[in-house]
Chains A and B, each alone.
Chain A
Amino acid sequence: MTEWHEKRHGLEQRIADWTSRTGFTISVRDDLGHLNLRGDLGSPGFLAAAEETIGQPLPQAPNTISDGDSTIFWLGPDEWLILTPAEKAANLADQLESSLSNQHAATNNVSGGQIALTLTGERVREVLAKGCALDFHPQVFTEGRCAQSGLARANVTIGSIGGDNKFLVIVRRSFADYLLAWLDGVA
């Protein structure tokens, strides 16, 4: 029996088939689990309970990331995406459900529905600019910033994390094949 968190999508093959290119590399982050968290910052106790369970702060400023054992993206005034080691995702989802059970909150483990990609290299900002209207200048899209937008014709969550020219791009599973084909084309 396969482990619960094991990703099956065949995307590595697509990347392996690419001809090598300079200044741009991409990897599929099967090591990450994805949780979608909803909650009301105005409700007493929500923030404390959530942060205690996750063990790090929830980013409250729009378009920012909180980095720690988990990487937490601000998605909206009451919505976060928590990327956490895949093997811990289900457990964390359960813990959040129980610690927030007396709150108006919602947790969804969406590890199976999303694909996270790490894009690195000196050309990464240029490649992103070919499909996204956000400003990827290194002094604008600085480390720790994130945004939801469109990349080519797919909705994505993009975050600059872990290095100057390093980005996490999260896309819905059903769009991943298209997005990789597009990245292959423009990169």
Chain B
Amino acid sequence: MFLIECPWCGERAETEFSYGGEGGITRPAEPDKLSDAEWANYLFMRTNPRGAHQELWNHAQGCRRWFGVERDTVTYHISRSYVLGDGVKD
């Protein structure tokens, strides 16, 4: 059972959190101006890296905040967790 650091509540057990997929994907401002391929790219394509991965996590059982986590997909090591910036999933 991992510990994940909520930027507000501190380290808590993994079971308190839910995973929100890859971070840093910004919803297109005007979807109707996108081609099908561009929309599909936003909708379906993820980087799936081997190594450092920017992720979104929600402290579902705690403060209900969404925040960013940098996690290594090979070692599972979480190198940082952070408050999301204004309007940016970074």
Contact = CB atoms under 8 A, between A and B. Distances in A.
Interface stretch (A19-27, A48-56, A105-113, A148-156): A148-156
A149 B61 contact: yes
B5 to A, nearest CB: 12
A133 B65 CA distance: 20
B15 A62 contact: no
A68 interface: no
Contacts of B62: 76, 147-149
Contact of B13 (A63, A76, A133): A133
Please tell me the size bucket of the interface on A: 10 to 19
Contacts of B15: 133, 150
B9 A147 contact: yes
Contacts of A147: 9, 62
Interface in B1-40: 1, 8-10, 12-13, 15-16
B2 to A, nearest CB: 11
B69 to A, nearest CB: 17
Nearest to B65: A76
B61 A155 contact: yes
Nearest to A148: B62
A79 B63 CA distance: 8
Contact of A150 (B8, B10, B16): B16
Nearest to B6: A62
A133 B10 CA distance: 13
A153 to B, nearest CB: 10
Interface of A: 62-63, 75-77, 79, 133-134, 147-150, 155
28 contacts: A62-B9, A62-B63, A63-B9, A63-B10, A75-B63, A76-B8, A76-B62, A76-B63, A76-B64, A79-B63, A133-B1, A133-B12, A133-B13, A133-B15, A134-B12, A147-B9, A147-B62, A148-B9, A148-B62, A148-B63, A149-B12, A149-B13, A149-B16, A149-B61, A149-B62, A150-B15, A150-B61, A155-B61
